[in-house]
Amino acid sequence: MPELPEVEITARRLDEALAGARIESSLASGINALKTFDPPLHAIDGQAIAGVRRRGKLFVVDVGEDLSLLIHLMSAGRLQLWDKRASLRDKASRLLVRIAGGESELRLREFGTKQRAWVKLLARDAVEADDALASLGLEAWPEPPADLAERLAAAGARPLHGVLRDQKVIAGIGRSWVDEILWTARLSPFKRGDDLAPDESTALAGAIRDVLGGALRRYEEVVHLPIPDKLPLPLQVHRKQGEPCPRCGTTIEAVHYEDYVMCYCPADQTGGRVLKDRRLSRLLK
């Protein structure tokens, strides 16, 4: 799932290419992808794209003077600029925005069989009040919230691995980057968010800043148009179970959940303890 660094670099590249470009026509081809009907999608036809930006893990495409497309990729969506127009048989297409004066097309596509990615066309001054943004916590980057420790404490006795992915607490972090952040901060994924010592919350804030900022610096060097389907995530521990920790050489361990895997270094993060792998323990029952 694209998280803050992936959405941010994509928004930057799309903004560079599309700011000022005029929209020729638009089409919501995915069933139920367009979640709003007033104003109608065709209200953007003939208008110029004012810019493309990010909020949390969402895109905002500002159109003309007062309209904005709010786009959520969910787990399997991609927002890409193509230099050829989509075949109408492309079943992955959810939204097509054809750019005037050529063949290029901004396209929301979604892989897999589920249709969960969505688009809303909103009055620009209503964007921040939309449910998807109004509930977002403060952005994780470029500076994590100054009151991060208080926010985590207020979220209750929840493990860091979960609470840091709660977009209402802090916006932009998901399953990939949370592993990297906790490894960088040398904190256990199951440490409770309301049980952090001052030096631990300082380390956590620093890790959020460094890991997300580092990913973006890397993407600035290597990600160009056309945006690839899979960005080259510069990961050190996530999905690296069985490999040596890049910092201490200890074997990276994993806890498997139904549809994702959490990775950590026991020596650096859990006092040498290998956490119970729920998948394994279920198999052994």
Q: Which residues bind Zn ion (CB under 5 A)?
A: 245, 247-248, 250, 265, 267-268
Residue 265 Cβ vs Zn ion, minimum distance, rounded to whole Å: 3
Q: Which is nearer to Zn ion, 160 or 182 (CB)?
A: 182
- Which C-beta is closer to Zn ion: that of 92 or that of 265? 265
Smallest separation (angstroms) from Zn ion to the CB of 263: 11
Q: Which residues contact 272 (CB under 8 A, 6 or more apart)?
A: 266
Q: What is the dihedral of CA 94, 231, 233, 200, to 10 degrees?
A: -40
Please give the backbone phi and psi of residue 177, each rounded to the nearest 5 degrees, phi first: -75, -20
d(CA 3, CA 38): 29
Q: Which residues partner with 70 through β-bridges?
A: 60, 120
- Cβ-closest position to Zn ion: 245
Nearest distance in Å: CB 243, Zn ion: 11
User: Helix 198-222 to helix 4-18 angle, to the nearest 10 degrees?
Assistant: 40
Instruction: For Zn ion, give the closer residue by CB, 30 or 266.
Output: 266
Closer of 51 and 206 to Zn ion (Cβ) = 206
In degrees and rounded to multiples of 5, residue 128 shows phi and psi of -65, -25
The nearest distance, CB 246 to Zn ion, in angstroms, is 8
Output the six-digit token pair for 31: 């069933």
Report, in Å, the least distance between residue 270 CB and Zn ion.
10
Cα separation, 9 vs 239, whole angstroms: 22
Nearer residue to Zn ion within complex by CB, 20 or 249: 249
Minimum distance of Zn ion from residue 141's CB (angstroms):
24
How far apart are CB 166 and Zn ion at their closest, in Å? Answer: 26
Q: How far is the CB of 239 from Zn ion (least distance, A)?
A: 16
C-alpha to C-alpha distance for 133 and 50, rounded to whole angstroms: 20
Q: Which is nearer to Zn ion, 248 or 280 (CB)?
A: 248
Spatial CA neighbour of 106 closest among 88, 129, 127, 83? 83
Nearer to Zn ion, 86 or 267 (CB): 267
Tell me which residue of 253, 260, 269 sits closest to 204, measured CA to CA.
Answer: 269
Nearer to Zn ion, 175 or 240 (CB): 240
